[in-house]
Structure 1
């Protein structure tokens, strides 16, 4: 896993969560700039997933490979799934769905890092 990319994803995800929470508290629906933000976040996530897949195919694997792959699939699918769900919800709760997903994403990356570099 690329450490600086993981940190960038976590910071961007938390910033996106804050932005969407402000929109939720202002009773604003999800708009196109929210989708653009989620798209950029998803591109960062896909970059990390791609780099990790290349590393795993190259032979460097975590001890719990099946668990690691399931977490990796979850982080790859979470942003687009929640962006679609948030955009379909035309009330103030659309941005809340995105904020929730963006608060979950950094936790998933912490768990991926724990699986990748287990403490001996």
Structure 2
């Protein structure tokens, strides 16, 4: 993994999560802005998948458990998809809150993936 890319992803995920949480708690239903914020998080996760495939080939292998890393990454990629589907099926203020919680969870998962990739020794 690339540290600066991970930091950018975490910042975007936390910002999207905070935005969606505040919007949901204020009473706003899912909109193009809240769903778009999760779409941006998803796009960055797809970039992370590509980086995770290319990085070991370029001489940057993970030091931790590769299976654990990929489980985190695949789960993180699926999380915004599920949250957005939920938000589109049940258009209430709580769906926007769910979008925010999903984005914040992805931020935590990204940091854990960075730790698995760089700090742990298998």
Q: TM-score, normalised by structure 2?
A: 0.88
CA contact (8 A) 1:62 1:117 kept: yes
Structure 2 CA distance for partners of 1:63 and 1:15, relative to 1, 3 Å: closer
- In 2, Cα distance between the equivalents of 1:87 and 1:13? 20
Q: How does 1:16-27 map to 2 (within 5 A)?
A: 16-27=16-27
Q: Report what 1:109 is aligned to.
A: 110
Structure 1 residue 63: Cα displacement: 3.5
1:89 deviates by 1.8
5+ residue gaps, structure 2, are: none
Coordinate RMSD, CA, aligned:
1.7
CA distance in structure 2 between the partners assigned to 1:4 and 1:95 by the alignment: 28
Q: How does 1:22-33 map to 2 (within 5 A)?
A: 22-33=22-33
Helix, strand or coil at the partner of 1:90: coil
CA distance in 2, matches of 1:75, 1:56: 20
Cα distance in 2 between the residues matched to 1:106 and 1:81 = 16
Please list every run of at least 4 consecutive aligned residues from structure 1 whose deviation after the TM superposition is greater than 6 angstroms. none
Within the alignment, does 1:38 sit opposite 2:34 as a pair?
A: no
Matched pairs, number: 120
Paired position in structure 1 for 2:80:
79
Deviation at 1:119, TM superposition (A): 4.7
1:97 maps to 2:110: no
Question: How far is the alpha carbon of 1:61 from its aligned partner?
Answer: 3.7
CA contact (8 A) 1:86 1:96 kept: no
- Structure 1 gaps of 5+ residues are none
TM normalised by structure 1 equals: 0.89
